[in-house]
Structure 1
Amino acid sequence: MTTITTEAATTPRWDDVQHALTGGGDGASCQCVWPVLTNKDWNASTKEQRTELLREEIDAGPPPGIVAYVDGEAAGWIRIGPRTSQARLPRTRIIAAATAEPFDDGTVWAVTCFVVRREHRGKGLNRTLLDAAIDYARRSGARLIEGYPIDTGAVKVSTNDLFHGALSTFLAAGFEVKTEMKPGRPLVALDLAG
């Protein structure tokens, strides 16, 4: 029987974060700092600088994500946190045009990245990660969580593009589609205040 657990990404879990991010896809080079950098800063950064930025973010706290473990091995990652700490979101036209929430509201959080190591895909880790992220956001005072997933039933996507998450995962966790940003890319939200 496989045991799946989750933990907040804190400094003592740095090696686990790195293991989760380096099992396939763009996680190793991105270091999940794409959501927190503007395009200009992203384009000017190296993988080493992005790694250091993530380390600094985790060291400073609060945890910017959750790590999933399969039988004790770090197997997946999700970025969750206030939109105010994710600089790319208000600068992304389709998100800025679609959201009804003000970007300076720290109680509005966003899920912006999923990574699952290749050998652990197909085990439901994205749903486990999303459920843990919802619990974390609720305990941290979030009022609402947004997501920007891909509707895999409407558009064909590469595995690397699934870092946004699949619409089906968000719907299964109770999110509602608020609007379609572009074909196959809805904005979803979960109201935690209700």
Structure 2
Amino acid sequence: MSIEVRPAADFEDVKALVGPKSPDASVCWCLSYRIPSKVNNTMRGQERGAFVAKLLEDGPLGVLAYDGDVPVGWAAVAPRSDTTFARNRKIPHVDDLPVWSVWCIRVRPGHRGQGISHRLVEGAIEFARDGGAPVLEAYPLDNGSAKVDLTMAYAGLRATFEAAGFEHAADTTSVLSGHPRVLMRKDLRPRRTAKS
């Protein structure tokens, strides 16, 4: 299997990963952290997909992993200031840098356990770096060796981000599926070399 990670710019491919099986279902569409709760809670059924299509007119909403032409994984990535994490009281702000956030990792059933989540995190790093992010943050579950319900593992796992070079920056008061979430960061700024 050859996995390629690309910006999530195609509506049908985004829909394949985060859209509902039934067009009228009111599933997340990965909007929960992208837009204010009041707006998110008022949308029903096909309104949600139409909203995502409109957002895509302004550019990709993260990255998708492809096995050939088939989208098999998704990672939501955006500037933190453009998400509800900008005002989230449970997840602290470490400093005033214009950081970006990666907050949802999803791999299609049948493709899990093949390292795709790791590839998505790598793709999220490149996407944020290409967008000018000085730092990329994630808010994964700190589950240790405990099993995590796959539905609630969308935030990612601490070990996955550590493997990609993220470092623990702060604890949070956020808990998901019984596991604490931690704030992990990866510095994307070019390294300065000492003058000889």
Same fold (TM over 0.5): yes
- CA deviations 1:45-78 (Å, max 9, x no partner) are 21322211111111122x1111101233110110
How many correspondences in the alignment? 181
Per the alignment, residue 6 of structure 2 pairs with 7
Which residue of the partner structure matches residue 163 of structure 1?
154
Asked whether the 8 Å contact 2:94–2:170 carries over to 1, the reply is no
Could you list the structure 1 runs, at least 4 aligned residues long, displaced by more than 6 angstroms after superposition: none
Structure 1: how far apart are the matches of 2:37 and 2:63? 25
1:68 maps to what in 2?
Answer: 65
Partner of 1:37: 35
Give, in whole Å, the separation in 2 of the partners of 1:8 and 1:23.
21
Which residue, 171, 185, 194 being the options, matches 1:189? Answer: 185
For residues 94 and 47 of structure 1, what CA distance do their matches in structure 2 show? 29
Give a deviation string over 1:112-163, Cα, whole Å, max 9, x none: 1111111111111111011011011112211011100002216653211111
Rg comparison, structure with higher value:
2
1:184 maps to a residue whose letter is P
- Map of 1:118 onto structure 2: 109
Q: 2-side partners of 1:155 and 1:178: how far apart? A: 22
Say whether residues 1:99 and 2:66 are aligned partners.
no
SS, match of residue 111 in structure 1: strand
Shift of 1:8: 0.8
> Retained in 1: the 8 A contact 2:77–2:101?
yes
Q: What is the deviation of 1:14?
A: 1.7
TM-score, scaled relative to structure 1 = 0.85
Tell me the CA shift for residue 6 of structure 1. 1.3
Higher helix share: 1
Contact 2:100 2:133 in 1 (8 A): yes
Matched residue type, 1:56: K
Q: Which residue matches 1:129?
A: 120
1:184 and 1:156 map into 2 onto residues whose CA distance is 13
Match of 2:142 among 151, 160, 165: 151
Query: In 2, are the aligned partners of 1:21 and 1:116 still within 8 Å (CA)?
Result: no
Q: 1:38 to 1:89 in 2, by over 3 A?
A: same
Match of 2:48 among 47, 50, 72: 50
CA distance in 2, matches of 1:37, 1:156: 30
Q: Distance in 2 between matches of 1:33 and 1:146?
A: 18
Q: Secondary structure at the match of 2:30?
A: coil
Query: Is the Cα contact below 8 Å between 1:101 and 1:108 reproduced in 2?
Result: no
Unaligned 5+ runs, structure 2: 174-178, 192-196
